[in-house]
Structure 1
Amino acid sequence: MSATFIKAAEVWIPSADGTLLEFGCGGFGPARSFATISRSMCFGRGEGLPGRAWEEGRPVLLRQFEGSIFQRTAAARTAGMDCAIALPLYLHDRLTSVLVVFCGHVPGQAGALELWHHDPRITTDMTLVDGAYGPGAQAFEAISQETYLPRGVGLPGLAWQRGEAVFVEDLPAAPGRFLRSEEAAAAGLLRGLAIPAGSRLADRHVVAFLASARLPLAHRIERWVPDAAQSELRRVEAFSELHGGRSSGIAQLPLSSTGSSLVKALQRGVPVINDFPADEPGSPAAAAVGIGATALVAIPVVWEDAVVEVVALYL
């Protein structure tokens, strides 16, 4: 199986007494040593990457681990991870979890991790907080730092406007949806996924994952939304480099599917990671088996204090 830009993910859950973040679940692929270390850890407020996101009540991006608050640097480097983002999830002003997504640059293959932010006290636009761009993307990084995105403009601006995840298959061919298309083409960036991320405050964040076809974001990306009757999840988008690109097939999951990671993420407002996705009910199992996925990451997208969709990443 080919490598992906997104290498691993883990979920941290508040302890019963609310004093710690404890390991909930994770998908680490071949990074067994990193997985063993992670499963034995817990974090207080401000401790490590998950604890910092908890304390600050907002997403935190680390463009590198060396010299940072990150506590597992050596193991992450061995596993091919060199940057990460922690996303705290809130429902009704209550922290439900912290999702950490790890990415890794590969020499000669483009990939970027970005965090965008809108603070209404400062500007009407969305601006870059930080990014991890890897070698060969200096021009793309420079223009990103200078870019101001109005609501509905550019990939992060679209996710902000819609309150839902946005996937763009061909960034250089979508100048209307991706303002930095020329610089993206020069850097070799082709695919883009933007996901709205909340915070403890009223401001908005968007995390963006960008990568080439040779280094996919994930082995498969799907978006699932509940139907109007709130009786099932419907797949509205699916893309996989290993399945020939975009899929137009129809798929549903009844909300009574108690074994479904996607349904659990929707109903609980907590990310769910299944490290044996062949056990999933319905079409996710077939998709996972078809590409040999080692983990399914189900990410609930929270908007206006409700879970509006679930993004599925097959790693």
Structure 2
Amino acid sequence: MMDVVIDTPTRTFIQVTEVWVPEGGVLKLVEGSYGDLTAFAETSRGTEFAKGEGLPGKAWAEERPVVLKGFDGSYFKRTEAAAEAGLTSAVAMPIFDEDELKAVLVVLCGDDDARTGAIEVWHEEDGLLLLDDGYYGAAKHFEWVSQHTSFPKGQGLPGGVWVSGHPMLMRDLGSGYRFIRAESAGEAGLTTGLGLPVPVPHDKTYVMTLLSARGTPIARRFELWDARKARAGDNAALLVDGICAREGTLGDPDNAGNERRVTGFQGAIGRVIGTGLPVVQYGQAGLSAGYSTMVAVPIHKGGELAHIVAWYI
């Protein structure tokens, strides 16, 4: 594997990340990373969502990831607080374990001329993955190319996730032959791609992709954990792939003697294993040195935890 260096960011593409969990028939906020957007954080802590209400409620009711690229005049409930915080777009990803909603992960972004990246949602239709919607920041040409691109099984990052059923990382998007939109990705400054399946009820196929640029990255560290490959006990996961600005490639399968293995409730990844819920940590002592935020997302399959995707800012 080729090592990839991700530059230290001055501004991140994603500004807010939240975890909403169903409780008593509504979604309640359990964790969030807000940076210095304290007023928006306070508004969020006092907000709940019924099924079908607001962005998290819509993802719950429609059982699919939802992209919202503008808040004014929309169903978004926190429009005034978001405008004051400079937030303009959001994506909600429901976390299902078969038919049970475990949580909704929401990420919010601001729109300006500096932030470049992509958060895309792809859905299957007539044997192809088509772009359901996406948020691209300043990468307008790449957005146009994506709107006119489709993927069969096994092709590109979305198609690779679709055929394998597990999360994937892609390096060097601008020059990699496996990334179908390489030329436009290179022009937009996109370097690293994370693709993950989004299991939902009724056997519908959704794939989410997060494409990171050096100047305004989604993350400085990505990790893929496989909960199926633990060799001792069921309540564990192995690091199978990753990219770190300081360490290069992580989870090299040829380096089995130094494998990284986590068990239930051992650190943040262990908390995902133990609870089956996403985890967001911000400014906590448990974070590795140099990182302010950590997000870990579970992927359930067949009634069991199959994978965990984590990124660090």
TM-score using structure 1 length: 0.86
Q: Distance in 1 between matches of 2:114 and 2:283?
A: 31
Residue correspondences, number: 297
Q: Distance in 1 between matches of 2:280 and 2:224?
A: 15
Which residue is 1:53 aligned to?
Answer: 59
1:144-183 alignment runs, 5 A limit:
144-176=146-178, 178-183=179-184
Q: Distance in 1 between matches of 2:201 and 2:309?
A: 21
- Sequence identity percentage: 35
Q: Distance in 2 between matches of 1:218 and 1:86?
A: 18
Q: Distance in 2 between matches of 1:49 and 1:231?
A: 33
Q: Is 2:236 the partner of 1:232?
A: yes
Q: Identify the match of residue 101 of structure 2 among 95, 99, 109.
A: 95
Instruction: Decide whether the 8 Å contact of 1:297 with 1:313 is kept in 2.
Output: yes
Q: Distance in 1 between matches of 2:59 and 2:144?
A: 26
Q: Identify the match of residue 298 of structure 1 among 293, 296, 299.
A: 296
How far the C-alpha of 1:80 sits from its partner, in A, is 4.2
How far the C-alpha of 1:13 sits from its partner, in A, is 1.1
Q: Given residue 13 of structure 2, which amino acid in structure 1 is its aligned partner?
A: F
Encode CA deviations 1:150-177: one digit per residue, 9 max, x unaligned. 111111111122222212221111122x
Q: Is 2:113 the partner of 1:107?
A: yes
What's the secondary structure of 1:223's corresponding residue?
A: strand
Which residue is 1:12 aligned to?
Answer: 20
Which residue is 1:269 aligned to?
Answer: 276
Q: Distance in 2 between matches of 1:244 and 1:109?
A: 25
RMSD over aligned Cα, in angstroms? 2.2
Encode CA deviations 1:13-58: one digit per residue, 9 max, x unaligned. 1113xx2111121122222111111111100111110011111111
Which residue is 1:84 aligned to?
Answer: 90
Q: Identify the match of residue 66 of structure 1 among 69, 72, 87.
A: 72
Q: Distance in 2 between matches of 1:219 and 1:37?
A: 28
How far the C-alpha of 1:110 sits from its partner, in A, is 2.0
Instruction: Decide whether the 8 Å contact of 1:4 with 1:219 is kept in 2.
Output: no
Instruction: Decide whether the 8 Å contact of 2:12 with 2:115 is kept in 1.
Output: no
What's the secondary structure of 2:215's corresponding residue?
A: coil
Encode CA deviations 1:169-209: one digit per residue, 9 max, x unaligned. 21111122x11111112222222111211222211111111
Which residue is 1:309 aligned to?
Answer: 307
Which residue is 1:127 aligned to?
Answer: 130
Which residue is 1:282 aligned to?
Answer: none
Gap runs ≥5 in structure 2: 1-8, 253-257
Encode CA deviations 1:237-292: one digit per residue, 9 max, x unaligned. 23233x26434675534414x2522122123321122234432xxxxx4xx21x2x
Against the structure 1 CA distance between its residues 62 and 270, is the aligned structure 2 distance closer, same or farther, given a 3 Å change threshold? same
Gap runs ≥5 in structure 1: 280-284
How far the C-alpha of 1:213 sits from its partner, in A, is 1.0
How far the C-alpha of 1:127 sits from its partner, in A, is 0.5
How far the C-alpha of 1:236 sits from its partner, in A, is 2.1
Against the structure 1 CA distance between its residues 245 and 77, is the aligned structure 2 distance closer, same or farther, given a 3 Å change threshold? farther
